[in-house]
Amino acid sequence: MNQYRSIGSPKRWHWVWASMFLLLLALPALAQQSVTLPSTETGWALDVEAIAPRQPSTPGTLEVRGTGDLSFDPAAITTLRPDVFQDGHFSVFDVLVHLAETEQIELEYAFDESLQTHVIQSLNGLEGWWYDAHYDGGSFDKTVVRMDCFPVKDDMSIVLYLEDPVRLDAIYQHFAVEVSSRDPESAEITIPSIIFRSATQTVEFTNVVVTAHDARIDVFQPGVITALDVLLSLGESGALDTVGLEWRAEEAEIPVVDGYYVVAIQAGEFEPAATGSCVLIHQVLGEEIEDHVSPHTHTLTHIHLTGDLEVLVAPQVVEWLWVCL
């Protein structure tokens, strides 16, 4: 007993344990950084130096329905869309092409100018493929994001499957409408309707001009417009008073999040602010796909494709919904 006392009194150990406990509590906070825009230094731009995002580095798998789980090594993948992605980053479609290059699947594909995306012409001899994907901790979400624009992160789930021809046709029509309503020479897009929904209020902004703010210059090339740019552009135009963002590097048991969560916005009297674990999640909509997207009515997950990672072409509607865990 006396020997133990010589190392340090029990009271001193309490302080050590307490310090370690506080450090453990502080670790998640270190992985989160809150930003309220506009900031005095950068206005409605985000300080890209303030975050430490990661590139995909861990070998992953992609499930091709009917074939099984196929492995890929991120280090061996280069992107087909260098106009969209920075070096080291790539899309779901790039993984697929890599699997074809490594002869794990047979793939015929082409870039469709009218849709501004790569499309699968045939995979293992079958036509009519689409995909769904989610990041670690999330769930499949009936995605309607261009396959060559969906950024890959470590530990994500991807499934390629034969889609109902009606839904696939609706998705391609949605892309075609987007492309036809965008001026390819212009660095900005005009979104006819942007809707914010809180539990009690709905606010709509119409014909909003959106420009790139390069908030995720680590992932995307300069000039690529994302859903987060919708908020930043609304802020610049004076439509939004403030936007609260939180950079989350990780969540409990989810090692890689690396995305901005929208935790508060203020537009006059419309002011949904974070309470508990509520965030604003976005949904890109259009007339053609309104029956073919996830309704986001469930409240079990908000690990999704965050606004800073969803590339926009020229959607008809972007909706922001308040979701609580």
Stretch that binds other proteins, among 10-18, 22-30, 243-251, 293-301 (CB under 8 A): 293-301
Q: Return phi, psi of residue 3, to 5°.
A: -60, -40
Any idea which residue has 């889609």 for tokens?
Answer: 163
In the window 78-137, what residues touch other proteins (CB under 8 A)?
Answer: 126, 132
CB closer to other proteins, 130 vs 172: 130
CB closer to other proteins, 61 vs 301: 301
Binding mask 50-89 for other proteins (x = CB under 8 A): ---------------xxxx---------------------
Map residue 231 onto helix, strand or coil: helix
Max alpha carbon distance in the chain (Å)? 82
Map residue 4 onto helix, strand or coil: helix
Q: Can you tell me which of 32, 139, 190, 266 binds other proteins, judged by CB under 8 A?
A: 139
Report how far Cα 173 is from the mean position of its chain's Cα atoms: 23
* 262-294: burial string, b at 16+ Cβ within 10 Å, e else: bbbbbbeebebebeeebbbbbbbbbebbeebbe
CB closer to other proteins, 143 vs 226: 143
Q: Can you tell me which of 3, 180, 200, 297 binds other proteins, judged by CB under 8 A?
A: 297
Binding mask 256-285 for other proteins (x = CB under 8 A): ------------------------------
CB of 156 to other proteins, least distance (A): 13
Which residues lie below 8 Å from residue 276, measured CB to CB, with a gap of 6+?
324, 325
Query: Which ranges of 44-164 does DSSP label H, i.e. alpha helix?
Result: 92-101
CB closer to other proteins, 141 vs 178: 141
162 binds other proteins (CB under 8 A): yes
Euclidean distance between the first and final Cα of the chain, in Å? 49
Q: Can you tell me which of 270, 301, 317, 321 binds other proteins, judged by CB under 8 A?
A: 301
Residue 88 DSSP symbol = T
> Can you give the binding site for other proteins, defined by CB under 8 A?
65-68, 126, 132, 139-140, 159, 161-162, 164-165, 297-298, 300-301
